[in-house]
Amino acid sequence: MFNFNLYKEKLSTDVIGQSIQYYPELDSTNTKAWELISENAENGTVVITENQTKGRGRQANKWISTQGKSLTFSIIIYPNALPSQINIYSLIAGLAITDCLNTYDIQAQLKWPNDILISGKKVGGILCESKISGGVIKSMVIGIGLNVNENIKEFPEDLRNNVTSLMIESGKRSQLEELLANIINHLEHRIQDKDDTQIIDWEERCAHLNQKVTFHSGNEIVIGVFKGLSSTGQAIISKDGKEVIFDSGEILEIDD
Ligand code: BTN
């Protein structure tokens, strides 16, 4: 059961997370968030479940989570921003999660566009979906999955070499409601941040800056050096002396 009192006690935002919808079980919090948007959900509404049964990942992947051991939640926002800003929102979500983990002395890194890694293993992922209308991003759902209190045996056997949880890395169990509130506090701060350090901060936390990567975009596999981000968060990859910019894609391998 979700401890609303603990969550509210730790939440220090003006907007994001002030409205929270908790469900003991859902197929996908992102799917539920879109349903709530069609019913005019408030800006900043958070949708969370203890048991997500059909979690959706990027590139049509599945997101598998263990009941009651991880965070699976989505945030509804109405950005009214230019479509060129879409990538920035998902990068900001990754930054907010790593900001939060830093406060627990956990150093996490980012893999483009928005995987959260600890010691090179995936601890979290972000699925950002948006609807554009009239030339602006009208609505956006930022879906976050974070492995928190799982032990290694709770992950599917074929993933065990590549995934981790906060407990495996830190040896400590976390209170899910407190962690959720802290992530949301950092997210609101990052969204409001006028200093515009997002790109620099993201590059500093990148797990593969200036490293050779195998990159998959559309039908193309590109092997090149990841040079950083454009001002709107696209990936810049250098290949055969030329810099190529990618809007979407997936890093399949980091060659170190
Ligand atoms: C990825 O790494 O491919 C992104 C994973 C995103 C998973 C989260 S869990 C909460 C939200 N609801 C979903 O169905 N997916 C996202």
Which atom of ligand 1 is least distant from the CA of 27? 14
Separation of CA 125 and ligand 1 centre (Å): 6
Q: Ligand 1 within 6 A of 51 CB?
A: no
Read off the pLDDT of each residue in 182-208 and give the average, rounded to a whole number.
Answer: 93
Q: What is the mean pLDDT of the chain?
A: 95
Q: Of 59 and 80, which is predicted with more confidence?
A: 80
Percent of the chain residues past pLDDT 90, beyond the cut: 89
Q: Over the stretch 128-140, which tens digit does the pLDDT of each residue have?
A: 999 999 999 999 9
- Which residue's alpha carbon is nearest to atom 16 within ligand 1? 143
Residue 233 Rama label (left phi>0; alpha psi -120 to 50; beta):
left
The pLDDT assigned to 131 comes to: 97
Read off the pLDDT of each residue in 92-117 and give the average, rounded to a whole number.
Answer: 96
Q: Is the pLDDT of residue 67 over 70?
A: yes
- State the pTM of this model: 0.96
Q: Ligand 1 within 6 A of 63 CB?
A: yes
Q: Is the pLDDT of residue 109 over 70?
A: yes
Q: Over the stretch 68-94, which tens digit does the pLDDT of each residue have?
A: 999 999 999 999 999 999 999 999 999
Q: Ligand 1 within 6 A of 21 CB?
A: no
The pLDDT assigned to 217 comes to: 87
Q: Is the pLDDT of residue 256 over 90?
A: no
Read off the pLDDT of each residue in 46-68 and give the average, rounded to a whole number.
Answer: 95
Percent of the chain residues past pLDDT 70, beyond the cut: 99
Q: Is the pLDDT of residue 196 over 80?
A: no
Q: Is 187 exposed, middle or buried (0-12, 13-18, 19+ CB in 10 A)?
A: buried
- Which residue's alpha carbon is nearest to atom 15 within ligand 1? 56
Q: Report yes or no: 94 and 116 within 8 Å, Cβ to Cβ.
A: yes
Q: Is the pLDDT of residue 194 over 80?
A: no
Q: Report yes or no: 119 and 39 within 8 Å, Cβ to Cβ.
A: no
CA trace torsion 5, 9, 15, 16 (10° rounding): -70
* Alpha helix ranges (H) inside 43-197: 86-103, 166-170, 176-192
DSSP calls for 38-77: HTTPPTT-EEEEEEESSEE-GGG-EE---TTTEEEEEEEE
Q: Ligand 1 within 6 A of 145 CB?
A: yes
Residue with tokens 């894609």: 249
29, 159, 235, 246, 250 from 156: Cα distances, Å: 21, 6, 30, 31, 22
Q: Over the stretch 221-238, which tens digit does the pLDDT of each residue have?
A: 999 999 999 999 999 999
Tell me the sheet residues that pair with 251. 215
Q: Which two tokens stand for residue 64?
A: 């598998």
Confidence of residue 250 (pLDDT cuts 50, 70, 90): confident
Q: Is the pLDDT of residue 62 over 70?
A: yes
Pairing of strands 70-77, 136-147: antiparallel
The pLDDT assigned to 3 comes to: 97
